Structure 1
């Protein structure tokens, strides 16, 4: 008898059944963070010092072939 009442009261989702949109919000925050990191990485890679270092590295790699 007690089991039936508890099952009817809390159901499958329990008290936290209303948290349906949390995963969507977490994915949105993760996507925004990834875009911010990509923009920062783009700025670093396209800066003068890093760009010239990468070009030199590629030239040496292609020259060794």
Structure 2
């Protein structure tokens, strides 16, 4: 085998062995973190202060003269 062929195979083999994505444990932790963030965001958006602020902003926008 020619020298350049061995080098090409070596580069191709090392390229295949690289870990380019997440493994199962990382997916699980990412999913748990996303669910926790969604729960906190839901609690914030449905709180009385935010809800009344959104309601007030929408009422002002609807009552504004054209």
What TM-score does the superposition give when structure 2 sets the normalisation length? 0.57
Stretches of structure 2 that go unaligned for 5 or more consecutive residues are: none
- Note the residue ranges of structure 1 that are not aligned, 5 or more in a row: none
Matched, 1:49 2:45: no
**Residues of 2 paired with 1:51 and 1:34: CA distance?**
23
Map of 1:7-46 to 2, 5 A cutoff? 7-8=8-9, 10-14=10-14, 17=17, 19=19, 22-23=21-22, 28=27, 29=30, 32-46=32-46
Cα RMSD of the aligned pairs, angstroms, is 3.0
Structure 1 runs (4+) greater than 6 angstroms displaced: none
Which digits, 9 at most, give the CA deviation of each residue in 1:2-37, with x for residues without a partner? 2122223x25242552526x2565x932x5544433
CA distance in structure 2 between the partners assigned to 1:36 and 1:50 by the alignment:
19
| Whole-angstrom CA distance in 2 between matches of 1:64 and 1:13 | 66
Instruction: Give 2:4's aligned residue.
Output: 3
Specify the SS of the correspondent of 1:44.
Answer: helix
TM-score (norm 1): 0.58
